[in-house]
Amino acid sequence: MQNIISVTGLTKQFKNLTAVDNLSFSVNDGDVYGFLGQNGAGKSTTIRMLLTLIQPTAGSINMFGLDLQKSRRQVLQQTGAVIEKPDVYKYLSARENLKLFAALSGIKPTQNQLMAQLDMVGLSGRENDKVKTFSQGMKQRLGIAIALIHDPKLIILDEPTNGLDPQGIADIRNLILHLSREKGKTVFVSSHLLSEIEQVATRVLIIDKGKKVIEGSAQELFDPSQTIVEVDTLNNETTLAQLQQSQWQAALQPRRSHTIILKLNRTSIPQLHIWLVQQGLQVLSVQPRHSLEDLFLQVTSGKQHVEAFTN
């Protein structure tokens, strides 16, 4: 499978701060690649280096098989990007914005092509409205339309759901899936909304303090045999005592707050539920929690902050 992005030993220093520290990763053709980390982990700095907005201190970036520094123009011709909030002209309409940015890219799309692009991002019917009347989610979708106007192979999205309401977040999620599955684009997306990345990503990279801590396919990272299950009953102390004397004892994990936590294979959850009921325990909930959020907290310093509030 072709590498669209190949990063080796990437480092960026700002005086005494190492924002990105010897980072290496690869993005394959067709990936929806989730790029995750806490605020200040180095995500935006990495993206700015991928877009040649800042120069790395050390390391190399190859995109589409080309050295980024030597072939900047050829690489960027195949790349579209939206960095946080898109810069658009609020007193122009959506169609006028798209036409203007197309001209800046040396492209002269027909009216039908402009409309097709706006329709793809869900702005059909609002093409003649001034952008100042748009919600933040609509502006974000227009920014993605602009980033796609030159039909790039790769689109880079930095926090595309920032400031959006639940409907706007769902719209961006569905658009990412459409770009990947229907349009064959490779999507590199940075986000702090872990549940959203979990729904769209085929591969995931988590960084912490500028360093890679884990990278892999969604299937590899979310092993069903390592499912976290939270159990809550009307009397958790009694329930815990019975679990400690049962076949479930080996699955028990250190507690966070009052909830009982087990780690077991996903297929064992129905048997656990049946066993709890058979013991006469009054079950309030049995919740599988094997999610990207759990993995993220396990491998980053975010776990320290969570434990400080829950222990």
Q: What is the mean pLDDT of each run of 10 residues along the chain (311 residues)?
A: 92 94 95 90 94 96 96 95 86 95 89 92 93 91 92 94 84 91 94 80 91 82 73 92 93 79 86 93 83 68 43 37
Based on the fold, state whether residues 232 and 215 are members of the same structural domain.
no
Q: Specify the CATH number for the domain of residue 271.
A: 3.30.70.980
| Residues 285, 178 within the same domain | no
Let me know whether 19 and 58 are in one domain: yes
Residue 81 lies in a domain: yes
Same-domain check for residues 167 and 244: no
Q: Which tokens sit at 134? A: 């748009």
Domain boundary (188, 219, 250) is at 219
| Pair 206, 238 in one domain | no
Number of independent structural domains in the chain: 2
Per-residue pLDDT, 87: 83
Of 176, 199, 219, the last residue of a domain is 219
User: 106: domain range?
Assistant: 3-219
Give CA–CA dist 52/67, Å, rounded: 12
Q: Are residues 204 and 235 in the same domain?
A: no
Q: CA-to-CA distance for 33 and 35, rounded, in angstroms?
A: 6
Distances (CA, A) of 72 to 63, 67, 69, 81, 243: 9, 8, 6, 15, 60
Give a yes or no: residue 303 inside a domain: no
pLDDT at 222 (0 to 100): 65
Q: Which of 159, 3, 139 is nearest to 68 (CA)?
A: 3
Q: Please tell me the pTM assigned to this model.
A: 0.77
- pLDDT at position 306 is 39
DSSP string, 22-38: EEEEEEETT-EEEEE--
In a domain, 304, yes or no: no
**CA–CA dist 59, 64 (Å, integer):** 17
Q: Are residues 91 and 199 in the same domain?
A: yes
Find, among 74, 83, 115, 84, the residue nearest to 98 by Cα.
115
Instruction: Let me know whether 286 and 177 are in one domain.
Output: no
130 and 21 in a common domain = yes
Distance CA 164, CA 135 (A): 9
Tokens standing for 30?
Answer: 């067709």
At residue 291, the pLDDT reads: 61
Please indicate, yes or no, whether residues 175 and 246 belong to a single structural domain of this protein: no
Evaluate whether residue 308 is within a structural domain: no
Strand spans (E) along the chain: 3-14, 17-28, 32-36, 58-63, 66-67, 79-83, 154-158, 186-190, 203-208, 211-217, 227-233, 252-256, 259-264, 283-288
